[in-house]
Structure 1
Amino acid sequence: MKHSLKGLCGAGALVLPLSVWAAPVVEDLSANQQSNLYQQTQVRPEAGGNLVLFNQLQDNQRQIQELRGQIEELRYQLEQQKNFAQERYLELEKRISGFAASGGGNTAQGGGTPSSAEQGDNSDAAVAAADQEDRQAYQAAFQKVQARDFDAALTAFESFVKNHPDSPLRANGYYWLGELYSARSELEPAAQAFTTVIEDYPQSNKVPDALYKLGLLKARQGQPEASKQLLNRVQQEYPDSNAASMAGDFLNQSGL
């Protein structure tokens, strides 16, 4: 019996360590939970980043659409300017044809009828006051317009206004410089020439035409308010002129 107990105790001594080492292992799930939470927090910023990229993409698309609209508007304005330039050129051609048919001349009030002044009628104060040299130089320049040699006409009128500073026909010379520059779509020098007629020669019969043409140029230059003011001025100050009638037509058609 003692031997049996002793054997059991010995066996127990052997079993006890085994039972201790064989105890069930309890896992620490908190570490896994923290790991999963970390992974989740890593995913959320990624999702937020995708949302930011999506919003940026929408903003870019909206900006592209706005730019396309601006491009279309600029294209429309450019086309309008081309149309205005062509209209002015055709008007100049019409005037030249009228001058050639009537033996030469210039429109006093902007219409298609040549004034008697440049047909040799001395009732026009400017022509009557001009001496023979002035008239010859002016007619030589104008004949180049009639011949449709616009480059030569431009050079001739530049020379005329430079070499005849006191000529009563100088306002007419500046007016034709405005017409010729306008036909070449050189808008700034054309505007300067018409402005010279208006400001330096307020008594000239070319002022109504110059106001009207400057109003058209301002429209071509993208300055609708300035254009409207000039065209209204023609109607108010020269209501009986052909230029006033044409200014009214342009205002109605353009919607200024």
Structure 2
Amino acid sequence: MKHGLKRLCGAGALLLPLSVWLPVMAQQGPVVEDLRDQPRSFLDQTEVREEAGGSLVIFNQVQQHEEQLRQLRGQVEELRHQLEQLRRQTRQQYLDLDERLMAGSAGIEASPEVDDATARQVAETPSPSGTSADTQAAYQAAFAHVQSREFAEAIRAFEGFVAEHPDSSLTANGYYWLGELHSAEANLAEAEAAFRRVIDDFPDSSKLPDALYKLGLVKARQGEPEASRELLERVRDDYPDTSAAGLATDFLRQSL
């Protein structure tokens, strides 16, 4: 009887702490944690950091490329500016050279300027044989605008002259002066067309060597050195005793 009581008391002593502990554990929740809502593992976090680091590298590369592109654009603009300066300098060199070569010779200089003595000589030249008084008067009236340095008016006057007198002995001179005037005004395409009319339509004109020489200068100003050389050599070789041949030779020696 005593031994059975002891066993019951011992069992009770063991069950009592267990009965107290179980409700407490029940209130605290399960021992095994649900990791689904917990922060990512170290490996996952490392992958996230690697992804963020990769994006940062790409971003930096894009920034570097944009900066290089801005630098290249700046260099292109600088080169374009230098090229335009070089073109202006080249054109001015041709103009300056033409002015030096034409000093003291007949015609409008590229500045533009007109030699007064030459202008008076042209205006006072007697009418060529077979030229009517009206034709000579119209020609001299057009040239009067050249003397007065009224180049726009002179162009209009000579255009009217060649239109009204297409077959006179002064028509080639009219086209020549149109070439001179347009060249002085930097209308190079119009100057070329006028000089070519002298060369192609009036091969016996005394203005032919001068037209060839001036067209050679126009082609040089247009950036066509080979065409310029061909024209100037033609003047030098075909008309060696003319002042235009001497000017062409000087230009070839100094610039081409």
Q: TM-score range by the shorter chain?
A: 0.7 to 0.9
Find the residue that maps to 2:121 and give its secondary structure.
coil
Give 1:105's aligned residue. Answer: 122
Give 1:65's aligned residue. Answer: 75
Residue by residue, what CA displacement relative to the aligned partner does 1:79-105 show, whole Å, maximum 9, x if unpaired? 5435655776785266523315xx513
Measured in 2, the distance between the counterparts of 1:197 and 1:176 equals 10
Q: Give 2:43's aligned amino acid.
A: Q
Q: Judging changes above 3 Å, is the alpha-carbon distance between structure 1 residues 23 and 204 closer, same or farther for their aligned structure 2 residues?
A: same
Q: Contact 2:130–2:169 at 8 Å: present in 1 too?
A: yes
Q: Which moved more, 1:141-150 or 1:152-161?
A: 141-150
Q: Contact 1:99–1:146 at 8 Å: present in 2 too?
A: no
Measured in 1, the distance between the counterparts of 2:231 and 2:154 equals 27
The structure that has the greater radius of gyration is 2
Measured in 1, the distance between the counterparts of 2:18 and 2:201 equals 130
Q: Give 1:97's aligned amino acid.
A: D
Aligned residue pair count: 237
Q: Give 1:136's aligned amino acid.
A: A
Shift of 1:198: 1.2
Find the residue that maps to 2:186 and give its secondary structure.
coil
Give 2:88's aligned residue. Answer: 78
Q: Judging changes above 3 Å, is the alpha-carbon distance between structure 1 residues 239 and 18 closer, same or farther for their aligned structure 2 residues?
A: farther
Q: How do residues 109-120 of structure 1 correspond to structure 2 at under 5 angstroms?
A: 119-120=125-126
Shift of 1:196: 0.8
Q: Which moved more, 1:84-93 or 1:159-168?
A: 84-93
**Higher relative contact order at CA 8 Å, sep ≥6: structure 1 or structure 2?**
1
Give 1:4's aligned residue. Answer: 10
Find the residue that maps to 1:128 and give its secondary structure.
coil
Q: Judging changes above 3 Å, is the alpha-carbon distance between structure 1 residues 86 and 182 closer, same or farther for their aligned structure 2 residues?
A: farther
Q: Which moved more, 1:32-41 or 1:14-23?
A: 14-23
Give 2:173's aligned residue. Answer: 172
Give 1:112's aligned residue. Answer: none
Residue by residue, what CA displacement relative to the aligned partner does 1:172-199 show, whole Å, maximum 9, x if unpaired? 1100111122222222222211111111
Measured in 2, the distance between the counterparts of 1:199 and 1:145 equals 25
Q: How do residues 42-53 of structure 1 correspond to structure 2 at under 5 angstroms?
A: 42-53=52-63
Q: How do residues 189-228 of structure 1 correspond to structure 2 at under 5 angstroms?
A: 189-228=190-229
Measured in 1, the distance between the counterparts of 2:143 and 2:234 equals 28
Give 1:113's aligned residue. Answer: none
Measured in 1, the distance between the counterparts of 2:180 and 2:74 equals 41
Shift of 1:153: 3.0
Q: Unpaired runs of 5+ in structure 2?
A: 1-5, 103-107
Measured in 2, the distance between the counterparts of 1:212 and 1:23 equals 109
Q: Unpaired runs of 5+ in structure 1?
A: 107-117
Find the residue that maps to 1:104 and give its secondary structure.
helix
Q: Contact 1:81–1:220 at 8 Å: present in 2 too?
A: yes
TM-score, with length taken from structure 2: 0.74
Measured in 2, the distance between the counterparts of 1:13 and 1:98 equals 137
Q: Give 1:145's aligned amino acid.
A: V
- Identical counterparts, % of pairs: 37
Q: Judging changes above 3 Å, is the alpha-carbon distance between structure 1 residues 18 and 170 closer, same or farther for their aligned structure 2 residues?
A: same
Measured in 1, the distance between the counterparts of 2:153 and 2:11 equals 140
Q: Judging changes above 3 Å, is the alpha-carbon distance between structure 1 residues 11 and 192 closer, same or farther for their aligned structure 2 residues?
A: same
Q: Contact 2:175–2:194 at 8 Å: present in 1 too?
A: yes
Measured in 1, the distance between the counterparts of 2:50 and 2:58 equals 13
Measured in 2, the distance between the counterparts of 1:224 and 1:18 equals 107
Shift of 1:58: 0.8
Q: Contact 1:150–1:180 at 8 Å: present in 2 too?
A: yes
Matched, 1:41 2:51: yes
